[in-house]
Chains A and B, each alone.
Chain A
Amino acid sequence: MKIPRFSRKTLCIPYGVFLLFFVIIPMLFILFYAFTDKQMHFSFSNFVQFFSDPTKFSTIIYSLVIALVTTVVTLLIAYPVAYILARSKLKKKFVILMLFVLPMWINFVLRINALRELFNLISQAKPLEGLANANYFKTVFGMVYDFLPFMILPLYTTMLKIDNSLYEASADLGANGFTTFTRVTLPLSMPGIMSGVTMVFLPSMTNYVVSDMLGNAKVTIIGKFIYEYFGTNWHMGSMIALVLLIVVFLSTWLTGGFKGDETVRGTNL
């Protein structure tokens, strides 16, 4: 029997087909629906309507703010954790790292549900009953809880790569701990910050499961919006999806995510 031989090109075919049917064609559909009306005629009406409707526009802003707050809080928690873990000489630091990453192994809807029950329980205590209606707080809390590992892991791996002798060189040249942090640690961990931010910021704009479950359905973020519109009006839904796509593109471009070459950010020597 003849053994079939695959060239590299033929091995690419399955992924190419996948790409065509699940990425490119749907994208074209979105583009098509976004710029047509219900009679399937070309129209800018969705575009005009989106930007003239204050509720739609403010939802985008809300999503951005929630995503931004989530990202900042996650970064503030994850950075020290990653730093301490990366620099400690503990033999068991793998275990500690696992403790942070382990929740990822549990279904996240389950985790958010558990968190909601926990909030309900806590808000029954008199001094904390305000928590019952603190929808934005709970949403951000849930998102931070959900996305924390995605921030810690890239930060940790970047910081592991920073050679200890660089810290020593900095101290040797007269820098105190703070200067060493701002002039060595921070710039060298920038690639980690960037990928962590991308991993947290973008999903937290659309992850409406968290906002639905923890925000008493009072917090609407852009993902929820798209979902709702696709129930009734595909054209408007597509337009919102397109706007989101542009926002994502812009934010990725601004953080330098398209450069792909890590030496630009100074990780290699």
Chain B
Amino acid sequence: MAEHIIELQNVTKAYGDNIVIEDMSFYVNKGEFITFLGPSGCGKTTTLRMIAGFDLPTSGKILFKGQDISQLPPNKRPVNTVFQRYALFPHLNVFENIAYGLRCKKVVNEYENDKGERYSRKEKLTKKEIAEKVKKALEIVDLEGFEKRSVATLSGGQQQRVAIARAIVNEPEILLLDEPLGALDLKMRKEMQIELKAMHKRLGITFIYVTHDQEEALTMSDTIIVMSDGVVQQIGTPKGIYDEPANTFVADFIGESNIMSGTVTGEKKVKFCGKTFDCLDEFEKNEIVDVVVRPEDIHMCAPEESQLKGKVLSVVFKGIHYEITVKVGKYELVVQSTESRKEGEHIGLNISPDGIHLMKPKYTTNVFDGVITKHNTVKFADGEFECDVTQLYPGSYIDEEEYLVLPSGEKLDLTDTEVTVEVGLGDITISDDEEAGGTTGHIISIIYKGDHYRLIVRTDESEEDFVFSTEDLWNENDYVSVIIPKEKIKLALKAVEVKK
């Protein structure tokens, strides 16, 4: 078994009330090329910074070869970092930048005195040793002869190489790379990807790489950790993550996907797009599942011998393949193929069982903690909604003074009663008009599910999420108000009984 060089145990990082990393645990094998992948703000850079020592975890442990290093300062850790914006020292030339770490280092040298006794001394590296090491590092990054150049005169790519040389010259056990290629143009980025990968092989040290570029992650990594919202979504090999995404987030984030809602109709059988398909995943019968199909797993054929029939909506040439959007009933499916089709053409589609991935939907309903307020409204998720409180007590009604009257004639004042609020995925609508709904928030996620969109709106104050489906197209980060019809708000009393 490979040695765990870095292990995170239940690491949480919070800035004040804002939790950026929540209870994160994973390990990194020695010599691995591991990538933290996720959209911006998912906590991947924070995780890297905690390993480097720039940020300390709020709770939990970071182990290096089994030793707790969570509280060590960065200069005491056997890791080196390649920074996002390189962070080269502007007042030093290329040589001095690379030699910076070497000049700080002390090594144990063995000596023999006149009597032949051996002794050791902690010493700084000699000028000659430093010069040799810098030269070697410059060779590795292909910048021979750049020693005397000022870093301000270098191009972005060259600065990037100096930054890498400055880190690897210290022979760290782990090299941390924080979106190192983000500032380079596409061609240069592709070149550096290959070079970094080769460097990783040659040096044999562990690389921890942070990126939001899924293609970069798939190309370079041995292992990918997909993160979102400060939580690990999936850990696996690039192929494993691409072929078997753990949930719709991963499926949507990595590669192109068709994501639809389906129902399990029997053993290894699932119904979506109005047809029943064979699949390989097993779920309970009648369970509602998310179905993920990669565009390249949908095959076009003649309509007669197909499972699905549809009409071509659009064809886009993508270089090595065509991306064809096909309308099947009310669903839109994206297909990738090397063959082209004409717009408006009627075609058939087949999906083989191993191309269909079923996963438990992350959300089936919205649940909030709420409090009944004075006017028989309920307060939750930073807002107040009209609701029907009589549902809490069967047969009750509200009298003119707004008291709830039980069938027995007893009057109740429900103000401040704590309740659980449940709202279905289909019962929420949103509006541009901030005043229209009970609460407001920003759209934080949009996933297309074949015939509708799955949206998540997060309120600003308490960061409650509303998950719902809509057929309208919205933009991420839109500021909207959340509308829920009175009769769709289901209330339940909390376990604690109301005092009468």
Contacts and interface: CB of A to CB of B under 8 A. Distances in A.
Interface of A: 163, 165-166, 168-176, 179, 183-184, 187-188, 263, 265-269
A269 B104 contact: no
Contact of A174 (B54, B84, B104): B104
A159 B104 CA distance: 23
Interface size range of chain B in the complex: 20 to 34
Nearest to B96: A183
A174 to B, nearest CB: 4
Give the 4 A-B CB pairs with smallest separation, nearest first: A266-B91, A173-B101, A269-B90, A165-B87
A263 B90 CA distance: 9
Contacts of A170: 89, 100
A50 B134 CA distance: 57
Contact of B80 (A172, A188, A267): A172
Question: Which of B74, B80, B83 has the most A CB atoms < 10 Å from its CB?
Answer: B74
A122 to B, nearest CB: 44
A108 B87 CA distance: 43
B75 A174 contact: yes
B149 to A, nearest CB: 13
Nearest to A263: B152
22 contacts: A163-B85, A165-B84, A165-B85, A169-B81, A169-B83, A169-B166, A170-B89, A170-B100, A171-B75, A172-B53, A173-B100, A173-B104, A174-B104, A174-B105, A175-B75, A175-B104, A179-B104, A263-B152, A265-B91, A266-B91, A267-B90, A269-B90
Interface string B283-316: 0000000000000000000000000000000000
B88 interface: yes
A150 to B, nearest CB: 24
Given A172-B81, A174-B105, A269-B151, 7 more contacts: A163-B85, A169-B81, A169-B88, A169-B166, A171-B53, A173-B170, A265-B91
A60 B194 CA distance: 67
B52 interface: yes
B138 to A, nearest CB: 16
A161 to B, nearest CB: 10
B409 to A, nearest CB: 58
B101 A163 contact: no
B353 interface: no
A188 B90 contact: yes
A175 B104 CA distance: 6
Contacts of A188: 90-91
Interface string B156-181: 00000000001100100000000000
Nearest to A183: B100
Q: Is the interface of A mostly helix, strand, loop or mixed?
A: helix
A171 B73 contact: yes
A211 B54 CA distance: 49
A185 B166 CA distance: 19
Contacts of B152: 263, 268-269
A187 B91 contact: yes
Interface of B: 52-54, 73-75, 79-81, 83-85, 87-91, 100-101, 104-105, 151-152, 166-167, 170
Contacts of A166: 87, 89
A172 B52 contact: yes
A174 B90 contact: no
Contacts of A175: 75, 100-101, 104
Question: Which of B84, B104, B152 has the most A CB atoms < 10 Å from its CB?
Answer: B104
A238 B85 CA distance: 55
Contacts of A163: 85, 87
A144 to B, nearest CB: 29
Given A173-B166, A173-B170, A168 B100 contact: no
Question: Which of A174, A187, A265, A269 has the most B CB atoms < 10 Å from its CB?
Answer: A174
A169 B74 CA distance: 9
A269 B83 contact: no
Nearest to B73: A171
Contacts of A267: 90
A259 B106 CA distance: 39
A162 to B, nearest CB: 9
Contacts of B84: 165
A169 B73 contact: no
A119 B105 CA distance: 52
Contacts of A165: 83-85, 87
Nearest to B104: A174
Question: Which of B75, B85, B151 has the most A CB atoms < 10 Å from its CB?
Answer: B75
Question: Which of B73, B79, B90, B152 has the most A CB atoms < 10 Å from its CB?
Answer: B90
A163 B53 CA distance: 18
A166 B151 CA distance: 14
Nearest to B83: A165
B88 A168 contact: no
